[in-house]
Structure 1
Amino acid sequence: MDASMLLDPVQVLGGPGQAVEKQSAVLIRNRRLEAFGDEARRMGRSEALEPQDAGHQLLAPCLVDCHSELPEPFHGRGETLVSLLRTAGSAGFGQLALLPGTLHGPREHPDQLQGFQRNDCDVNVHLWGGFSSGSSGVELTAHADLLEAGAIGLSDGRSMPPIALLDRALTLGDMNAAPVLIPALDLALRGEGLLREGVNALRAGWPSDPVSSETLPLSQLGQLQQCHPDRRLVLMALSTADAVELLQQMPLRPKATVNWWHVVADSCKSSATASTWFVDPSLGSRSDRKALIRGLAENLIQAVAVQATPLDDEECLLPPDQRSRGVSGHHLVLPTLWHTLVVEEGWSPEQLWQVVSFGPSNLLGLREECLAVGSNRWLLFDPELPWTPLRSDPMGPCTANVPLQGKALRGQVTHCGLRTPANRAY
C-alpha cells in the first residue's frame, strides 16, 4: 500500500446506525485514516496527491468472527495462530473469538488463556473458556475465574452440555452477563447423519440427520432462557428452517448465530461427492438456507460466524464419517456473503455489516468496530474485482478443507489497515 493514498470518490460506511456515504473521500497515510470528505480532499491537494477513483468500492469497519476453531494454535502442521491471523486480518477481520477445544484439551484454566495476542498483529483475539471440565458435561469449570482471566464467554464448542448442568450453571450465575455459547445439537438423534434429512440426502445416498436433532434441544434451550432471563444464552450455528420458526415463536429469545457456509451453500448446490457437504451442523436444503437468511434479516439471528474448522491434507483423505466436519476460509466470507445477500437478496451494505461486524460485536459484549481518524481499523472492499481462490495463495489459510478452490469469484478486500504476521513462504 502507498504511504499516502487519496480515495476520491469512495463509498464510506462509518459505523453502526450510519448510512453509506456514496460520494465521499478519504485520505489514508501509513495505514491510518487521516481525514474524510472535503477535509481529505483539501489535505490531498496540499500534498499533491493524485485522487484514486474508487467510487464502486466500500471503505468500512473491520469484520468480527464470533466463533472458530484452532486445534493447534502454536505448533500445528497446518493452520496455526500466525497463519490464521494472516488470512483473517488480510480479509478484513479485526476480531476473532476462538472456541476452547484444542488437541491438548479444552481451555478450562486461567493460565491457558495467555499468549494469544501478538505484538506484531492488530487482529484482536478473544477466547471462549471451557464450560465443563474436559467438555464432558459432567462438572463445571471455574466460570468466574476464567472470565476474570479474560475469557470472552463460556462454551464446550461443538458439544452441548446436559440440560441439567446448563440449568445449574445458569442458576449459580457465575458467568453474570457473559455469553454462554451452546449448539442446539442432540448427538444421539443425529447419529451417523451427514446431510440434513430430505430429498437431496436420499438421492446422494448419505446417512441423513433428522431435523429433530436440532429442534428438540433448541426447545429445551429456549425454555432455559425463559427461566433465566438475565443470562446471555447464545445458540451456536442454527441450520434449519424449523429452528428459525421455533425461535420466532419464543417470547424471550436467546441470541443466535449461523455459519456463513449455511448462508451461501445448501445441499441443492453441491455435488454428492463434495467434501463441503459435510459440515457441522449438517447442511440443509435451499428452503433451510432461505429461512436462515430471513432469520438474519428479521434479527432472529444476530451474527454470521465463520466457524472455521482447519483440517490438513491427511485428515481430508479420510472418509466423511471418520473426519471432522467443517470448512475454512475467512478470505471467502465477505465476497460470498456480498454476492448472496447484497447481489441476490437485495440487502444493503448496512444490513450486511450488521450481521458480519456490529451484531457479532454486540453478541460478544464488545464495542462495535467503526471508522475514526487516526485508526487503522478499516477495510476497502471492491465488490466487482474478479479473482480465483488458489491453494498457493500466500494470504490463504494453511488448511485443505477450503471450498470454492479454483472457482471464479467476484469481490475481494483489496486493502486493510490492520497489521498481520508476515506472509508464509513457499
Structure 2
Amino acid sequence: MTRPLWLQQVQLLTGPGQPLHRADALIDASGALLSWGEPAGQQAEALGLSPTAAQGWLLAPMLVDPHSALEQPWDGRAENLTSLAAAAAAGGYGTVALLPWSSPWRDRPERLNLSFNLNPPGLEPLALERWGSFSLEGGDQELAPHADQITAGAIGLACHDQLPPLALLERGLLLGEMGPRPVLVAPRDGSLTGGGFVREGVDALRAGWPPDPVLSETLPLQSLLTLAASRSEAALRLMNLSTAAGVALLRAAQHRPLASVSWWHLLADSSNLDPTAEGWRLHPSLGTADDRHALITALADGVLTAVAVHHLPLDAEEQLLPLDQRRPGLAGHGAPRGLVLPLLWQELVGCRSWPVEQLWQALSWGGSALLGLPPEQLRVGSRRWLLFDPQQQWAWEPSHSLSHAANQPLGGRTIQGGVRATGLTPADHWSLSPPAPLSG
C-alpha cells in the first residue's frame, strides 16, 4: 500500500469506557492511525483517496496476552522470537508477556535480555514483556533475586505450572522485593492429579481418558486464597483457572485476586472435542462442559479478569510421541488471521450475545490489568490497532502458519472471522478485499 487507507463507516472501539460507534478512519501507508471521525473523511477527500467500504469491519485497540511461553527464543525449532512476533501481531496481539519457562530458565537479569528487532524497519515493535522467575531455575527450592529481575525490566514474577511450596511463596511475598509488581501462580498441585490429564467427569470416563480430579485445582486454590487474604499488599495473580469448583471458590472469596483463563478452556471441553483432535493434553487439564460454561460466566461478570493465549509450542518430533508421554501444551499464536479472536468472537459475541466491549475487556484490557499496564486504546499517530472482519471466512491449515509449532489446533477447518490488518504488520500483508455481506 503506497497511499493512506480510508476506512468508510467502520465500527470503531477507541478504548475502555467508550461506546462502539461508526465513523470514518484514516491510516497512513506506514500503518499509523492518522485520524477518525469527521476529520478523517475530510482529510481523505482532500487527498483524493477512494474509500474502502468497511461497514462490517471493526477498528479496535490491540489485544494483550498476559502469559505465554518461549523456551528457545533464538534458535527454537518449535518457535523463536521472529516467528512468535509475526504470528502474534498477525492475530491482533500488541503485547505478549513471556513466562520465564526456558532453557536456561529466565531467573536472573542477564537472562531477561530478549532485545531483538521483532518488526521490519519503521514498524512499531510488538511489546514483548517478560515475567521474571519466583524461584531459582524454577525449582521451587530457593528464591530467585526478585529485586534484580524487576530492576532489569521484569513485568512481575511467575512460578511454574503448579503451586510452589507455600512456605517459599509466603517468604517471597513477605520479603516484598517485587514491590507492587504482580506475582503469577498456578492453582494446581501435580501430585494430586494421579497421572490424569483430562478433568474427571462422565465424558472422560466414557472416552477412557485418565481422569484428573477437581481437587488438584481446588485444594491449592484454597491455600492461595487464604494467602492472598493474609498478604493483601501483594499483587497475587492466579494463572489459568479451569474448573467450575475453582470459579465458585474464587467468587466466594472476600479478597479476590485477578485471575486468567486459557482461551482453549473457553472453547473446548471433554464433551465437544473429537478424541483424535489436538487440544487434549494441557496443564491445567481440559474440563467438562459444566467447567467451560462456568468459566465463561465468570469471565462475563468479572470474576475472571483476562483471557490468556498461554502459547506452549511443541516441535514436530515431540508431537510424534503418544499423548500420555507428550509434554502438555497448545499453540495459539500462528494462524495468519488469528485463531483466538475469531473463535471467541463466534462463541461469545455470536452465540452468547456479548457486547464487543465485553469481549475486549477479556482479550485486551483485562490482560493489561493483570500485568499492571495501562489499557490499550486507539491514539492518533499510533500503530497499535487491529482491523477485524467477523464475516470473513478462510481455510485454516497449520502448514500455512506463521508459527513453527506442531501442536496447533483445528487444522483443516474453515474459520469465520479474521484479522484483516494491524499496525504492527507490513501493509503488503493486509487483506483488504471487500467485506462479505452481513447476515441478517
User: Do the structures match in fold with TM over 0.5?
Assistant: yes
Q: How does 1:147-162 map to 2 (within 5 A)?
A: 147-162=150-165
Counting aligned pairs with the same residue, the percent is 46
Conserved? CA contact 2:278–2:410, under 8 Å: no
How far residue 58 of structure 1 moved from its aligned partner, in angstroms, is 0.3
Q: Does residue 318 in structure 1 map to residue 324 in structure 2? A: no
The answer for the alignment partner of 1:25 in structure 2 is 24
The answer for the alignment partner of 1:82 in structure 2 is 82
Give the letter for the 2:165 counterpart: P
Q: Does residue 355 in structure 1 map to residue 355 in structure 2? A: no
How far residue 185 of structure 1 moved from its aligned partner, in angstroms, is 0.5
Q: Does residue 190 in structure 1 map to residue 196 in structure 2? A: no
Conserved? CA contact 1:86–1:422, under 8 Å: no
The answer for the alignment partner of 2:60 in structure 1 is 60
Match of 1:298 among 301, 320, 329: 301
How far residue 119 of structure 1 moved from its aligned partner, in angstroms, is 5.8
Pick which of 150-159 and 373-382 moved more. Answer: 150-159
Count of residue pairs the alignment pairs up: 420
Conserved? CA contact 2:278–2:408, under 8 Å: no
Measure, in 2, the Cα distance between the counterparts of 1:273 and 1:294.
28
Q: Secondary structure at the match of 1:14?
A: coil
Pick which of 158-167 and 381-390 moved more. Answer: 158-167
The answer for the alignment partner of 2:111 in structure 1 is 112
Taking structure 1 as reference, are residues 171 and 226 closer, same or farther at Cα in structure 2, changes over 3 Å only? same
**Superposition TM-score, scaled by structure 2 size:** 0.93
How far residue 191 of structure 1 moved from its aligned partner, in angstroms, is 2.6
Match of 1:135 among 134, 138, 144: 138
How far residue 157 of structure 1 moved from its aligned partner, in angstroms, is 2.8
How far residue 224 of structure 1 moved from its aligned partner, in angstroms, is 0.4
Give the letter for the 1:181 counterpart: L
Conserved? CA contact 1:16–1:358, under 8 Å: yes
The answer for the alignment partner of 2:280 in structure 1 is 277
Conserved? CA contact 1:383–1:410, under 8 Å: yes
C-alpha deviations, 1:125-164, integer Å up to 9, x for none?
Answer: 0111111012111100110110010001111231321111
C-alpha deviations, 1:328-374, integer Å up to 9, x for none?
Answer: 12221000110111001110110000011111011101111111111
Structure 1, unpaired ranges of 5+: none
Match of 2:179 among 176, 179, 189: 176
The answer for the alignment partner of 1:404 in structure 2 is 410
Conserved? CA contact 2:66–2:371, under 8 Å: yes
Pick which of 395-404 and 181-190 moved more. Answer: 395-404
Pick which of 111-120 and 12-21 moved more. Answer: 111-120
Q: Does residue 416 in structure 1 map to residue 415 in structure 2? A: no
Q: What's the RMSD between the two structures over aligned residues?
A: 1.5
**Superposition TM-score, scaled by structure 1 size:** 0.96
The answer for the alignment partner of 1:366 in structure 2 is 373
Measure, in 2, the Cα distance between the counterparts of 1:133 and 1:420.
39
How far residue 409 of structure 1 moved from its aligned partner, in angstroms, is 1.0
C-alpha deviations, 1:68-110, integer Å up to 9, x for none?
Answer: 01111101122111001001011111000011011x2311110
Conserved? CA contact 2:82–2:118, under 8 Å: no
How far residue 410 of structure 1 moved from its aligned partner, in angstroms, is 0.2
The answer for the alignment partner of 1:376 in structure 2 is 383
Taking structure 1 as reference, are residues 422 and 86 closer, same or farther at Cα in structure 2, changes over 3 Å only? farther
How far residue 421 of structure 1 moved from its aligned partner, in angstroms, is 12
How far residue 2 of structure 1 moved from its aligned partner, in angstroms, is 5.0
Measure, in 1, the Cα distance between the counterparts of 2:8 and 2:216.
52
Measure, in 1, the Cα distance between the counterparts of 2:33 and 2:55.
18
C-alpha deviations, 1:208-238, integer Å up to 9, x for none?
Answer: 0000000000000000000011111111000
The answer for the alignment partner of 2:398 in structure 1 is 391
Taking structure 1 as reference, are residues 321 and 105 closer, same or farther at Cα in structure 2, changes over 3 Å only? farther
The answer for the alignment partner of 2:350 in structure 1 is 343
Conserved? CA contact 1:117–1:124, under 8 Å: no
Structure 2, unpaired ranges of 5+: 430-440
Pick which of 85-94 and 108-117 moved more. Answer: 108-117
Pick which of 351-360 and 320-329 moved more. Answer: 320-329
